[in-house]
C-alpha cells in the first residue's frame, strides 16, 4: 500500500486585488527611497522657513510689545477662581472623566462590530470632519469625539468662571475658542486621515509642496504668514473681476470717484452714491458679473457712483476721520450733483462706510443741507457699538495703547494685521481650513472671487484708526448727541430725518444684527429694517438669480430686536428686489442717462481705477 504524501497540495490562488482610486487608476506605489528623499527636502525647506522668520522678525516693529492681547490678568483671575472653588473644578473634572469613560464604552462596542450611535457629534455645519474616515475608522472616530468632549468641557469650564467683568469674560471666551479651534486634530498631519492618506500615496510629496507654499507665503508677508485663500492668478482686474464699465471722474489723496456707464436709455432721476468701508476694496460690490450689485443696480436704471478708497501709505498716516468725511462723501456729493444736475442724491453705505454715511447726514443737517440726500441705505452698519460682537475683544486700553504704539512707528496699521484680526473671527473657515489644504495636503486653493477680495485688505491710517476705535468702539460716543466733533461740527445722528433703509444679516460676525437693529431706535425719520440670511458678505452679495438664502421684513419697529423677528415675515430669495422697490419710491421720474463726467469733471481713467489696483 503506497504511503500518503506528507506534502500539502498547493491550491491555485487568485492574484491579489488591486485597490484603485475613484477614477479607476491604481494608487501610486509606495517608494521608501522617494519618501526619504522628500523628507530630506522637507527638512531643508523647514530650515529656510526658520531663517526667513528670524530674518524678518529680528527687525519687526511688532517685537518688544509684551502681552498685546492682555490675557494675562484674565488668566490669573481664572486661576484664582479655580483655587477658591475646588469642589466646582472637581465636579467638572469628574464630568470630563465620565464623558471619556462613556466614549470608551461606545468605541468598544463599535470595535466589536455593533452599530452604535456616536457619543458626541459635531455640528452639521462643521466641515473639518467631512472625510469619511472620521466616521468609518474607529481610531479617527475616537480621536474626533475625544476632541469634541474636551472642547465642550473647556468652553463650559471657562464660561462658569465668576467675577470677570463683561469685557474680560468676552475676551477669555473668544481666545478659548481660538485655542480650541487651533487644537483640532484635523490641523495636525498625524491625526488627520486625509493628510496621512495623501502622504502615503504621494510618498511625502504633499509635505514638500505644502512647506514650499508656507515659505512663499511667509516671504510674501514680509516675515508674517499671509495665507493664500485663492488662486490670485485666476483673476484680472477689469477682465473677470471688477469689470463693470465706468470711468474715474474725480480723485484726491483719499479716494477716486467712479461713475458707471448706463445700460438703459433712461434712468431714475436721483443718482446713487455708494460709500464702502476702507478696510477692504470697494469691488466686493462688483465681483463677477453674475453677482455684481453695481451691475444689477445699473441694469435697474440707476446712475451709480462709487467711492474707491486709496490704500494709504506712510505719508497718509496722519489723515484723520475728519479727512475721510471732507474728502470722501462730502466732496463726492458735489461731483455727483455737477455731473447729473440733480439736487438730491441717495446714499448707500456699507459697514464702516455706513457709519461714515450717518456722520455725513448729521454733518449736512447741522449745516442745513440734509435735503441734499433723498434717502440713505445702511448695509451691515454699526451705529451703536454697545455690543460690537467679537471685534470688541480687541478693544481695551492695554491693547489700544499697544496698537497705537505699533501704528505710530510706521504711520498705519499693516494690511496683514488687519486681515488677521478679521480672519480670527471665523478661524476654522478663514485660517485652519487653508492651513490644512495648502500646507498639509499641498493643494492649491480654489479660485474664488470673494476670497480674492477678502485677501485684498488695505492699510489703515494711524490717526484715523485710533480715533475710530477709541471714540466709537471703546467709548460709543457716536450715539450720544454731539458726542463727537468732526470738521469743527458737533455730530448728532439722533436728529437724522432722511428716509432710511437698514439691512442686517442674521449670522453677521462683524456687525451683529441685534446691534445694527439699534439704529431703528436712534434715527428720527422713516425707517425700513430688513434682515437677510447668512453673514456680513454673503448675506449682502446675494443676487436674485441664485435663489439663495432668504430675508425677513416687518414694518413695525419695537424696541427689542427679538420682538421684531417674532413678528417678521420670511421671504425666500434675495433682498435686492425688496430694496429696489424701496429705492424707486424715493426717485420721482425717469430721465435720459447722463454722460460719464462733464467739462468740469472729465474722465481720468477706466474703472476700476488705479487706487483699487494697489495690493498691500
DSSP string, 327-370: IIIIHHHHHHHHHH--S-EEEEEETHHHHHHHHHHHHHHHTT-G
Interatomic CA distance for residues 576 and 209, integer angstroms: 43
Kindly state whether residue 27 falls inside one of the protein's structural domains. Answer: no
Q: Is 265 strand, coil or helix?
A: coil
DSSP state, 120? S
pLDDT of residue 158: 86
| End-of-domain residue from the set 220, 254, 283 | 220
pLDDT at 550: 96
- State whether 203 and 273 are in the same domain: no
* Model pLDDT, residue 496: 95
Give the number of C-alpha atoms closer than 13 A to the C-alpha of residue 75, restricted to the C-beta side: 8
The answer to whether residues 471 and 324 belong to one domain is yes
Is the residue at 135 inside a domain?
yes
We report the CATH number of the domain holding residue 366 as 3.40.50.1820
Same domain assignment for residues 568 and 533: yes
On whether the pTM is more than 0.85, the answer is yes
**pLDDT value, residue 29:** 64
* Alpha-helix residue ranges (DSSP H) falling in 59-189: 72-84, 86-111, 133-136, 138-159, 166-182
- Cβ-contact 251, 611 below 8 angstroms: yes
Query: Considering its fold, how many domains does the chain have in total?
Result: 2
| pLDDT given for residue 18 in this prediction | 37
pLDDT number for residue 575: 97
Domain containing 303: what range? Answer: 246-414+459-613
Same domain, 470 and 349: yes
Domain annotation covers residue 209: yes
Query: Rounded CA gap, 390 and 380, in Å?
Result: 15
554: helix, coil or strand? coil
Low-confidence ranges of the chain (pLDDT < 50): 1-23, 58-66, 68
φ, ψ of residue 603 to 5 degrees: the values are: -55, 135
> Do 203 and 318 fall into the same domain?
no
Residue 452 domain-assigned (yes or no): no
* Same domain (yes/no): 253, 367: yes
Q: Has residue 109 been placed in a domain? A: yes
- Bridge partners of 572, per DSSP, are 550
Q: Considering 46, 342, 351, 528, which one is annotated as catalytic?
A: 351
The Cα 310–Cα 415 span in angstroms is 13
Q: What are phi and psi of 116, to 5 degrees?
A: -125, 145
- Whether 132 maps to a domain, the answer reads yes
* Beta pairing, strands 489-491 & 500-505: unpaired
**210 and 274 inside one domain:** no
271 and 209 together in one domain = no
Whether 351 is a known active-site residue: answer yes
Q: What is the pLDDT of residues 41-50, one digit of tens each?
A: 999 999 888 8
pLDDT digits (tens, 9 = 90+) for 319-368: 999 999 999 999 999 999 999 999 999 999 999 999 999 999 999 999 99
The last residue of one of the domains, among 171, 205, 220, is 220
Note whether 207 and 292 are same-domain residues. no
- What is the spatial distance between Cα 291 and Cα 293, in angstroms, rounded to a whole number? 6
Verify that 325 and 369 share a domain, yes or no. Answer: yes
Residues 177 and 253 in one domain: no
229 falls within a domain: no
Q: Please state, in angstroms and as integers, the Cα–Cα distance from residue 384 to each residue in 84, 353, 480, 546, 561, following that order.
A: 38, 15, 9, 33, 14
Q: Are residues 206 and 350 in the same domain?
A: no
Amino acid at each position: 500500500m503506497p504511503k500518503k504524501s506528507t506534502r500539502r497540495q498547493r491550491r491555485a490562488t487568485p492574484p491579489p486585488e488591486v485597490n484603485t482610486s475613484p477614477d479607476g487608476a491604481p494608487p501610486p506605489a509606495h517608494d521608501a527611497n522617494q519618501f526619504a528623499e522628500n523628507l530630506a527636502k522637507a527638512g531643508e525647506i523647514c530650515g529656510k522657513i526658520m531663517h526667513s522668520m528670524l530674518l524678518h522678525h529680528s527687525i519687526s516693529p511688532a517685537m518688544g510689545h509684551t502681552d498685546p492681547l492682555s490675557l494675562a490678568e484674565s488668566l490669573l483671575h481664572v486661576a484664582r477662581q479655580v483655587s477658591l472653588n475646588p469642589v466646582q473644578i472637581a465636579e467638572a473634572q469628574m464630568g470630563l472623566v465620565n464623558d471619556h469613560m462613556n466614549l470608551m464604552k461606545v468605541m468598544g462596542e463599535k470595535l466589536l462590530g455593533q452599530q452604535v450611535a456616536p457619543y458626541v457629534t459635531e455640528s452639521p455645519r462643521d466641515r473639518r470632519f467631512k472625510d469619511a474616515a472620521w466616521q468609518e475608522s474607529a481610531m479617527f472616530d475616537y480621536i474626533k469625539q475625544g476632541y469634541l468632549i474636551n472642547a465642550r468641557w473647556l468652553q463650559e469650564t471657562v464660561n462658569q468662571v465668576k467675577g470677570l467683568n463683561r469685557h474680560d469674560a468676552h475676551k477669555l471666551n473668544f481666545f478659548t475658542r481660538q485655542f480650541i479651534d487651533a487644537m483640532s486634530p484635523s490641523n495636525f498631519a498625524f491625526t488627520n486621515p486625509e493628510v496621512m492618506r495623501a502622504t502615503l500615496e504621494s510618498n511625502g510629496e504633499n509635505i514638500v509642496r505644502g512647506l514650499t507654499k508656507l515659505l512663499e507665503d511667509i516671504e510674501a508677508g514680509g516675515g508674517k504668514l499671509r495665507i493664500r485663500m485663492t488662486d490670485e492668478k485666476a483673476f484680472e482686474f477689469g477682465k473677470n473681476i471688477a469689470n463693470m464699465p465706468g470711468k474715474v471722474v474725480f480723485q484726491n489723496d483719499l479716494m477716486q470717484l467712479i461713475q458707471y456707464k448706463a445700460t438703459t436709455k433712461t434712468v431714475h432721476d436721483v443718482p446713487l452714491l455708494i460709500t464702502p468701508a476702507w478696510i477692504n476694496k470697494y469691488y466686493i460690490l462688483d465681483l463677477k458679473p453674475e453677482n455684481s450689485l453695481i451691475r444689477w443696480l445699473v441694469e435697474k436704471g440707476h446712475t451709480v457712483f462709487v467711492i474707491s478708497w486709496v490704500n494709504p501709505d506712510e505719508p497718509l498716516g496722519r489723515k484723520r476721520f475728519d479727512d475721510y468725511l471732507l474728502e470722501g462723501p462730502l466732496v463726492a456729493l458735489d461731483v455727483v450733483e455737477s455731473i447729473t444736475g440733480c439736487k438730491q442724491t441717495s446714499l448707500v453705505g456699507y459697514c464702516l462706510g455706513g457709519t461714515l454715511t450717518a456722520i455725513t447726514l448729521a454733518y449736512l443737517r447741522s449745516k442745513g443741507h440734509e435735503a441734499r440726500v433723498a434717502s440713505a441705505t445702511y448695509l451691515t452698519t454699526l451705529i451703536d457699538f454697545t455690543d460690537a460682537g467679537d471685534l470688541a475683544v480687541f478693544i481695551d486700553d492695554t491693547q489700544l495703547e499697544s496698537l497705537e504704539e505699533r501704528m505710530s512707528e510706521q504711520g498705519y496699521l499693516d494690511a496683514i494685521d488687519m486681515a488677521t484680526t478679521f480672519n480670527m473671527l471665523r478661524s476654522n473657515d478663514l485660517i485652519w481650513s487653508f492651513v490644512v489644504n495648502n500646507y498639509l495636503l499641498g493643494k492649491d486653493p480654489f479660485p474664488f472671487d470673494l476670497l480674492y477680495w477678502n485677501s485684498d485688505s488695505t492699510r489703515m491710517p494711524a490717526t484715523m484708526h485710533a480715533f475710530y476705535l477709541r471714540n466709537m468702539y471703546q467709548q460709543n460716543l457716536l450715539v450720544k448727541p454731539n458726542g463727537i466733533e468732526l470738521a469743527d461740527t458737533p455730530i448728532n445722528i439722533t436728529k437724522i430725518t432722511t428716509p432710511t433703509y437698514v439691512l442686517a444679516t442674521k449670522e453677521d460676525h462683524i456687525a451683529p444684527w441685534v446691534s445694527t437693529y439699534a439704529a431703528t431706535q436712534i434715527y428720527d425719520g422713516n425707517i425700513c429694517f430688513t434682515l437677510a440670511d447668512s453673514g456680513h458678505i454673503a448675506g449682502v452679495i446675494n443676487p436674485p438669480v441664485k435663489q439663495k438664502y432668504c430675508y425677513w421684513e416687518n414694518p413695525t419697529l419695537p424696541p427689542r430686536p427679538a420682538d421684531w423677528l417674532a413678528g417678521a415675515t420670511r421671504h425666500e430669495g434675495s433682498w435686492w428686489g425688496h430694496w429696489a422697490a424701496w429705492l424707486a419710491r424715493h426717485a420721482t421720474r425717469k430721465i435720459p442717462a447722463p454722460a460719464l463726467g462733464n467739462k468740469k469733471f472729465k474722465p481720468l481713467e477706466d474703472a476700476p481705477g488705479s487706487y483699487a489696483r494697489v495690493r498691500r
